[in-house]
């Protein structure tokens, strides 16, 4: 499934480095040509000769003692994709900052090919706010994060931080390179709409647009042609056309007018349900007394899409608090193919977080609950479901 592909395997200095040899073997068995680049500390956990024996190429270990004049740029240009496994907290931080003080990070910066990171570290390091910020930044830059898993760690600890198994990494890489969404036209909405009260104030919500961005990035990385209609800052990534909007009406107009050109629409935006009937042209003043706002409904964008003749495959989102009963009702009554519900009151699953714990419903009410994952991982599993359902007709 990777026949003829050139894969660079970056190995950083964690205990999980022993799995790198097994990963390299699996890549070779899948038909790939594999070359490795190691950090100095990786050599404390796995020998360069082991990787050389598996791949047939001696790993790059630095800048100065290699036969190539510029080993990192040579590897970067050669690669169809790069995997960093294990990716330690230090390596993730350096890559997020662009700190190319070793050959591995320099190679990652020198390639324009897809990069897959497989984090591996102790639970406390993975959960640290700095690590989560770095992972979120890399994900927004288009890097694919796979894992980590929950399991046994060094020193007898157990928890999230275990590198996922090599077979899963190979499968994730295959999805990216084979482009299982290649040629699919996708439209994604993201962010929270703002409904003007006056030139200064608005009715809105806490949505950051991170989940919608993750859905768009994952689709683009797998070959889809993506249009992202958003109220939030958008990722700068190949394959994504960004359309900025602010209000529910603007989002409705853009979404409805473009829906017939899409194969799949994912409505991840948090659209305000109500707006002021009249927005003031001047700022309201406290001295003028208590204002009286008359509200009216905003357009129901999801219902409009569901009611279209020959509509695209349709995915809705429902942010609930305390119970997902509302999401289940929406899944069975809104005319969608899939509905993604999440309880924003749960730790790590609210607005503006880098993780999400979601339940995916089908229109008949069947539910699949996913554990707490990064938003990019959750987006990947959602696209797996969309792909499978569309292929089944």
Would you call 17 helix, strand, or coil by DSSP? helix
With 70 as the cut, is the pLDDT of residue 1 above it? no
With 70 as the cut, is the pLDDT of residue 156 above it? no
6 is catalytic: no
Contacts from 342-349 at CB under 8 Å and sequence distance 24+?
Answer: 342/317, 342/318, 344/206, 344/319, 344/320, 345/321, 348/372
Residue 367's pLDDT is: 95
Cα–Cα distances in angstroms (integers) from residue 346 to residues 54, 134, 171, 281, 311, in the given order:
45, 23, 31, 39, 34
Tens digit of pLDDT for each residue in 61-99? 888 777 777 889 989 999 999 999 999 999 999 999 999
Question: What value does the mean pLDDT take over residues 43-59?
Answer: 92
Residue 175's pLDDT is: 80
Q: What percent of the chain has pLDDT over 90?
A: 60
Residue 130's pLDDT is: 93
With 80 as the cut, is the pLDDT of residue 220 above it? yes
Tens digit of pLDDT for each residue in 282-324? 888 888 888 888 999 999 999 999 999 889 999 999 999 989 9
pLDDT higher at 295 or 180: 295
Spatial separation of the C-alpha atoms in residues 289 and 275, rounded to whole Å: 21
Residue 150's pLDDT is: 77
Residue 314's pLDDT is: 97
pTM of the model: 0.70
Question: What value does the mean pLDDT take over residues 197-225?
Answer: 90
Q: List domains and CATH numbers for the chain.
A: 6-178 (3.40.50.1950), 185-391 (3.40.50.10300)
Of 390, 335, 332, 388, the residue nearest 361 (C-alpha): 332
**Residue 276: beta bridge partners?**
295
Catalytic residue among 134, 205, 342, 356: 205
Residue 245's pLDDT is: 97
Spatial separation of the C-alpha atoms in residues 87 and 212, rounded to whole Å: 26
pLDDT higher at 147 or 264: 264
What angle, rounded to 10 degrees, do the helices at 103-110 and 71-78 form? Answer: 40
Question: What value does the mean pLDDT take over residues 381-391?
Answer: 93
Question: What value does the mean pLDDT take over residues 262-281?
Answer: 93
With 90 as the cut, is the pLDDT of residue 152 above it? no
Going by pLDDT thresholds of 50, 70 and 90, the confidence category of residue 179 is confident
Spatial separation of the C-alpha atoms in residues 35 and 55, rounded to whole Å: 7
Q: How many residues does the chain have?
A: 393
Tens digit of pLDDT for each residue in 321-369? 989 999 999 999 999 999 999 998 888 887 888 889 999 999 999 999 9
With 90 as the cut, is the pLDDT of residue 382 above it? yes
């Amino acid at each position: 499934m990777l026949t003829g592909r050139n894969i660079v395997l970056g190995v950083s200095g964690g205990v999980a480095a022993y799995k790198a040899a097994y990963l390299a073997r699996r890549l070779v068995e899948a038909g790939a040509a594999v070359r490795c680049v190691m950090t100095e500390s990786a050599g404390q956990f796995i020998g360069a000769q082991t990787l050389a024996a598996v791949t047939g190429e001696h790993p790059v270990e630095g800048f100065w003692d290699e036969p190539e004049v510029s080993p990192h740029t040579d590897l970067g240009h050669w690669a169809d994709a790069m995997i960093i496994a294990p990716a330690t907290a230090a390596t993730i931080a350096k890559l997020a900052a662009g700190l190319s003080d070793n050959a591995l990070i320099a190679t990652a910066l020198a390639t324009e090919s897809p990069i897959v990171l497989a984090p591996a570290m102790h639970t406390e390091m993975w959960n640290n706010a700095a690590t989560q910020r770095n992972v979120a930044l890399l994900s927004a830059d288009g890097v694919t994060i796979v894992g980590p898993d929950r399991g046994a760690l060094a020193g007898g600890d157990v928890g999230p931080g275990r590198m996922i198994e090599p077979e899963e990494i190979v499968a994730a890489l295959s999805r990216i390179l084979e482009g299982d969404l290649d040629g699919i036209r996708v439209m994604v909405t993201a962010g929270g709409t703002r409904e003007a009260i006056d030139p200064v104030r608005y009715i809105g919500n806490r949505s950051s647009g991170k989940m919608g961005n993750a859905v768009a990035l994952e689709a683009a990385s797998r070959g889809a042609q993506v249009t992202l209609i958003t109220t939030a800052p958008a990722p700068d990534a190949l394959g994504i056309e960004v359309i900025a909007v602010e209000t529910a009406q603007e989002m409705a107009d853009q979404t409805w007018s473009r829906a017939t050109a899409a194969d799949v629409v994912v409505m991840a935006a948090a659209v305000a349900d109500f707006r002021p009937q009249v927005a003031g042209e001047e700022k309201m003043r406290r001295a003028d007394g208590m204002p009286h706002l008359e509200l009216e409904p905003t357009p129901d964008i999801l219902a409009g899409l569901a009611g279209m003749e020959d509509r695209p495959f349709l995915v809705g989102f429902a942010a609930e608090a305390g119970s997902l009963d509302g999401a289940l009702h929406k899944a069975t009554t809104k005319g969608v193919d899939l509905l993604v519900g999440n309880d924003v009151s749960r730790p790590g699953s609210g607005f503006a977080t880098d993780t999400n714990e979601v339940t995916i419903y089908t229109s008949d009410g069947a539910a699949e609950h996913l554990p707490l994952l990064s938003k990019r991982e959750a987006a990947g599993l959602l696209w797996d479901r969309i792909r499978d359902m569309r292929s089944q007709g």
